[in-house]
Amino acid sequence: MPESTRLAPAPTDFELGAALAAGDAGALGDVYDRYGELAYSVALRVLGDPGRAADVVQECFLKLWQNAARFDASRGSLRGWLMSSVRNRAIDNLRGRAGHERSELGLAELGELAAAGSADDPWLEVSAALEREAVREALASLPAEQRQAVELAYFSGYTCKEIGEQVGVPVSTVKGRLRLGLEKLHSYLEGRGLLDDR
């Protein structure tokens, strides 16, 4: 029987992280090829400006390179770290914050979706597309006021006070909407087996 067609399996995120930590600049290219478009899309969604979005992506990949040896794969995924970094830097950029005035827990430390990007899942592109669709549907399933509050906080970096002023409700109401919104997102994604709920 003729030899089967064999293609080299794509490195896992865990392997890419290890390669980055070992100073393999080629691995950074692999990470960019895998997550660069998503990173750019997140930055663009926050900033609305292609030039500023590209600058943020470049800064975050540089930060990833510089700090690769400190990345702890047991506390979060490479993708989670990168997207958290991009979102935070974009928000800082949007809000005119010079430094990293981050007041929340690093999102990447809090877990990650189980499919694309997880250390032991070799099936990336197909599951990533399905995963993104599931997340969009999860967000669309939220009541409008919860979705609005979550999006204003996540994509625009507004505080509860600012959100309350924008939509004309008390701060306590905003806090409740954020909690209910994130609870529902978690339940929706967990119900579809998409969360690596370690």
Q: Kindly tell me which residue out of 48, 143, 170, 193 binds another protein, with binding defined by CB under 8 A.
A: 193
For another protein, the closer CB: 145 or 175:
175
Q: Is 176 in the site for another protein (CB under 8 A)?
A: yes
Q: Kindly tell me which residue out of 16, 34, 61, 99 binds another protein, with binding defined by CB under 8 A.
A: 61
Q: Is 158 in the site for another protein (CB under 8 A)?
A: yes
Q: Kindly tell me which residue out of 122, 143, 165, 170 binds another protein, with binding defined by CB under 8 A.
A: 122
Residue 8 makes CB contacts below 8 A (sequence gap 6+) with none
Total residues at interface with another protein (CB under 8 A): 116
- Could you write out the DSSP letters of every residue in 13-75? HHHHHHHHHTT-HHHHHHHHHHHHHHHHHHHHHHH--HHHHHHHHHHHHHHHHHTGGG--TTS
Residue 197 makes CB contacts below 8 A (sequence gap 6+) with 111, 190
Which residues between 63 and 92 bind another protein (CB under 8 A)?
65-75, 80, 83-84, 86-88, 91
Q: Is 131 in the site for another protein (CB under 8 A)?
A: yes
Smallest separation, CB 168 to another protein (Å): 17
- Could you write out the DSSP letters of every residue in 111-145? --BSSTT-TT----HHHHHHHHHHHHHHHHTS-HH
For another protein, the closer CB: 54 or 169:
54
Smallest separation, CB 28 to another protein (Å): 6
Residue 97 makes CB contacts below 8 A (sequence gap 6+) with 91
**Residues found in the chain:** 198
Report the first-to-last Cα separation within the chain, whole angstroms: 44
Q: Is 62 in the site for another protein (CB under 8 A)?
A: yes
Neighbours of 110 (CB within 10 A): 12
Q: Kindly tell me which residue out of 11, 52, 134, 167 binds another protein, with binding defined by CB under 8 A.
A: 134
Smallest separation, CB 11 to another protein (Å): 12
Q: Kindly tell me which residue out of 11, 130, 148, 169 binds another protein, with binding defined by CB under 8 A.
A: 130
